[in-house]
Structure 1
Amino acid sequence: MAEIEDADKVICAMRSSVPVDLEEGKTYYWCTCGRSKKQPFCDGSHQGTAFKPMAYTATATEQRKLCQCKQTANPPFCDGRHKKLPEDAAGKAFPPNSVP
């Protein structure tokens, strides 16, 4: 298996949040690595990295903004930290939790 570049870092999938319709009682698997092509959800692209998807079971049927920069302190939800990343952050690797 080929070595994954920056396997210990998260990729900023987008420098924004994404609104998602969640269904009460349904479990979702939020991408923690930023490599998934099915953002904000996991597609298995974390294989070979230090990351695993985060299981989240919705507590209500509602629309919520999910994090795509992977720097949130409240996963899987956006907390606005993407605003502190450089304008060109999308697609770039960052250490996890590196944005204050």
Structure 2
Amino acid sequence: MRQPIRVELEAGKTYFWCECGRSQTQPFCDGSHKGTPYQPMKFTAEKTEVKFLCACKDTEKAPFCDGSHSR
């Protein structure tokens, strides 16, 4: 089980969420997906705030945690 990762997002900044689970800089992409069918999810923060990003990769609200890790 992987718990969500607390991050402070900055309004207007673009992020790349790791979708493959291989990144050493979770929850963000470090390029480790190369050679896999996965691609990072690009998203831009709407406002500066603390959010919990999914680390289990089972969320249906990617890149944000929806509690799937506890099922």
Inter-partner Cα distance in structure 1 for 2:62 and 2:33: 17
SS of alignment partner, residue 70 of structure 2: helix
In structure 2, the residue matched to 1:56 is 43
Inter-partner Cα distance in structure 1 for 2:2 and 2:9: 21
Output the TM-score relative to the length of structure 2: 0.97
Q: In structure 1, what residue type is equivalent to 2:19?
A: T
In structure 2, the residue matched to 1:35 is 22
Inter-partner Cα distance in structure 1 for 2:2 and 2:67: 10
Question: Alignment partner for residue 70 of structure 1, among 52, 57, 68?
Answer: 57
Output the TM-score relative to the length of structure 1: 0.69
Q: In structure 2, what residue type is equivalent to 1:78?
A: C
Identity of aligned residues (%): 59
Would you say how many aligned residue pairs link Structure 1 and Structure 2?
71
Using the TM superposition, give the Cα deviation of residue 15 of structure 1 relative to its aligned residue in structure 2, in angstroms: 1.3
In structure 2, the residue matched to 1:88 is none
Give ranges in structure 2 of 5+ residues lacking alignment: none
